[in-house]
Amino acid sequence: MALHIHGAWILLFVLPALVAPAAINHEDYPADEGDQTSSNDNLIFDDYRGKGCVDDSGFVYKLGERFFPGHSNCPCVCTEDGPVCDQPECPKIHPKCTKVEHNGCCPECKEVKNFCEYHGKNYKILEEFKPSPCEWCRCEPSNEVHCVVADCAVPECVNPVYEPEQCCPVCKNGPNCFAGTTIIPAGIEVKVDDCNICHCHNGDWWKPAQCSKRECQGKQAL
């Protein structure tokens, strides 16, 4: 009888050890806080390397797809090595640009001043004007004014005059030169006094006249 009871006790001790592992359910025991955080992080922050690209907002792009990361206006292409973005050398904006747009990768000038300023006045593109009698100017498409100044020839007289709206001086009385302090016309001999007859140099009107002494009339009278 004692042996029979002892065998029953052995079965009672062995049976729970065999049954316990199969009966335990892990769902009945909450995981540690560290395990929960790790599990949740794996679900939210998946590894997309070699499979796609993620922008700042968490949106996933496929390989080969173009997208604009963050606030950039320059596009990127999703590759297996990550985003490859354009970084072009943007052209300089014209200093007289009045309207600039930033919709593209580079800023773009949409409106340039369509007139020129010269001495306080405005002129249209390709407009020609004369700010002075000797200047001829044009408003270029670059909004710059290009001028040509007339080159006047040397006047053929010693007393040239400037007429209104004319650039170069004119000899109203024709070519002449100085004989002392007297102005004599060119091309003829002029008796400037009782003893001297003068004439102008041919083509050299600025030189003093050539004079030669003749027999003075005053001496003849004596």
One domain for residues 82 and 99: yes
User: pTM for the whole thing?
Assistant: 0.39
- Within-domain flag for 19: no
- Within-domain flag for 160: yes
One domain for residues 164 and 203: yes
- Within-domain flag for 14: no
- Per the structure, how many domains does the chain have? 3
- Within-domain flag for 10: no
One domain for residues 211 and 159: yes
One domain for residues 56 and 105: yes
At 163-200, the pLDDT tens digits run: 888 889 999 888 999 998 899 999 888 988 888 899 99
Q: What is the pLDDT of residue 15?
A: 40
For residue 192, what are the domain limits?
155-215
* DSSP per-residue string spanning 85-122: E----PPPPPTTEEEEE-SSSS-EEEEE--EEEETTEE
One domain for residues 91 and 63: yes
Query: Residues 84-105, buried b or exposed e (16+ Cβ, 10 A)?
Result: eeeeeeeeeeeebeeeeeeeeb
Percent share of the chain, pLDDT over 90: 18
Reported as a pLDDT band with limits 50, 70 and 90, residue 31 is very low
Q: What is the pLDDT of residue 11?
A: 39
One domain for residues 59 and 105: yes
At 36-80, the pLDDT tens digits run: 444 444 334 456 666 788 887 788 888 888 888 766 778 888 988
Mean residue pLDDT of the chain comes to 76
One domain for residues 106 and 121: no
- Within-domain flag for 61: yes
